[in-house]
Amino acid sequence: EMRDAPRRQTALASTPLDLIIRPRRNRKAEWTRRLVRENVLTTDDLIWPLFVVDGTNTRTPVASMPGVDRLTVDQAVRDAERAMKLNIPCIALFPYTEPSLRDETGSEALNPNNLVCQSVRAIKKEFPEIGLLCDVALDPFTSHGHDGLIEDGRILNDETVAVLVQQALVQAEAGCDVIAPSDMMDGRIGAIREALDDNGFVDVQIMSYAAKYASAFYGPFRDAIGSAKTLTGDKRTYQMDSANSDEALREVELDIAEGADMVMVKPGMPYLDIVRRVKDTFAMPTFVYQVSGEYAMIAGAANNGWIDGERAMMESLLGFKRAGADGILTYFAPKAAEKLKAEG
Ligand code: PBG
């Protein structure tokens, strides 16, 4: 026969719990919350990705990324000025390539006067102090939307790396400070490092997209660069499987051995565990990309009044710091920097 469960003593005001440790004491007021705060987000942590498009004096909204525009080069220079004023250290550039310029091999990637190179020169001319990061991958330039060369439906590794090396050199020649290979081909970091060094670009840094997952969260980015409709199949033969974590460490280890100066985990919020493992294991400058779909979720929900957009933005960014990231690529960069500035 079952006995009655023992009754819990009710904690009435007159009978306080006999607690020595009360974690709430440290949270009782803002001054003490500030005092015990472990992590802090500053503008120094931000990299702002911009989309550039051909034309003049035009900003075209990206429908799936509320608040983000495609910018003609002159407008990208204006945003670089905004970044300077907000003390954002670095900008990342992504092109929307005219469909007529896209082909099987992504040859426009090697055009020293393509949109990315034009933007780099225009921004560096007016604001030489701001850091500029350029993606290395062929997807903005290929008719099929893949990051590499294709043969019989397969993405070729070594042949692609040879082209990526040329792309990196073209961008370095234009004045890019940080080369950021986002293609996930094997061996590309070593090949790019060697080519940069052989061509006098010893100071050009490499931030590798080291642990980049095949993710549904890149959708709005593919709208922004115009590769969403053209992409045939998916990127699972080169980007990582979301189920894997040890594999991320092997990828990061290889990229460091091949010469990466900084490593990145991408996407961000669903992969905070990877950020933490990478930081703890390698103690390298570790970056995280809060990708387009993450941005869209927060901005979209905020626009619908479903969440407090500003607070969700700051909470998500602080979460990356807590996970161990040294810096964050985020479309929220200017908004976050403005908020940080206002807070003093
Ligand atoms: C290109 C590249 C992608 C992103 C950055 N570089 C898309 C992809 O791999 O398909 C995604 C960024 C974002 O979603 O914000 N290789």
Instruction: Map out the domains of the chain as residue ranges.
Output: 40-343
For a pocket test of ligand 1, which of 291, 292, 298 has the largest count of ligand atoms closer than 8 A to its C-beta?
Answer: 291
Q: What pLDDT is recorded for position 236?
A: 96
Output b/e per residue, 199-235; b: 16+ Cβ within 10 A: eebeebbbbbbbbbbebebbbbbbbbbbbeeeeeeeb
pLDDT at 10 over 60: no
Average pLDDT value for residue range 55-76: 98
Residue 200, amino acid: G
Alpha-carbon torsion 201, 202, 208, 210, what sign? positive
Average pLDDT value for residue range 145-153: 96
Q: What pLDDT is recorded for position 274?
A: 98
With a 6 Å cutoff on the Cβ, whether 177 touches ligand 1 is no
Is 212 assigned a catalytic role? yes
What percent of the chain is modeled with pLDDT above 70?
Answer: 96
Task: Tell me how many degrees the CA angle 96-97-98 measures, rounded to the nearest 5.
Answer: 120
CA of 221 from ligand 1 middle (Å) equals 6
Average pLDDT value for residue range 161-184: 98
pTM: 0.95
For residue 15, what pLDDT band results from cuts at 50, 70 and 90?
confident
- Lowest-confidence region among 231-235, 244-248, 251-255: 231-235
pLDDT at 119 over 70: yes
CB 38 within 8 A of CB 32: no
With a 6 Å cutoff on the Cβ, whether 238 touches ligand 1 is no
Q: What pLDDT is recorded for position 11?
A: 53
With a 6 Å cutoff on the Cβ, whether 182 touches ligand 1 is yes
Closest CA to 240 of 198, 196, 278: 278
Q: What pLDDT is recorded for position 230?
A: 81
Average pLDDT value for residue range 205-228: 95
For residue 14, what pLDDT band results from cuts at 50, 70 and 90?
confident
**One-character DSSP codes across 255-299:** HHHTT-SEEEEESSGGGHHHHHHHHHHH---EEEEE-HHHHHHHH
Phi and psi angles of residue 41, each rounded to the nearest 5 degrees, phi first: -100, 130
Alpha-carbon torsion 124, 127, 129, 133, what sign? negative
With a 6 Å cutoff on the Cβ, whether 299 touches ligand 1 is no
For residue 344, what pLDDT band results from cuts at 50, 70 and 90?
confident
The H or E element containing residue 38 is: none
Per-residue DSSP letter, 209: E
Neighbour tally for 313: CB within 10 Å: 22
Average pLDDT value for residue range 273-278: 98
Exactly one of 124, 266, 279, 321 is catalytic; name it: 266
**Ligand 1 atom 14 nearest Cα:** 218
CA of 121 from ligand 1 middle (Å) equals 23
Indicate the average pLDDT of the chain. Answer: 96
Exactly one of 124, 212, 279, 321 is catalytic; name it: 212
Distances (CA, A) of 150 to 136, 164, 228: 17, 14, 17
For residue range 67-95, what is the model confidence (pLDDT) as tens digits?
A: 999 999 999 999 999 999 999 999 999 99
Q: What pLDDT is recorded for position 189?
A: 98
* Binding positions for Mg(2+): 251
With a 6 Å cutoff on the Cβ, whether 64 touches ligand 1 is no
Is 229 assigned a catalytic role? no
CB 150 within 8 A of CB 139: no
Q: What pLDDT is recorded for position 296?
A: 98
With a 6 Å cutoff on the Cβ, whether 213 touches ligand 1 is no
The closest-lying atom of ligand 1 relative to the alpha carbon of residue 227 is: 10
CATH architecture of 40-343: Alpha-Beta Barrel (3.20)
CB 296 within 8 A of CB 64: yes
- Lowest-confidence region among 26-35, 225-234, 302-311, 325-334: 225-234
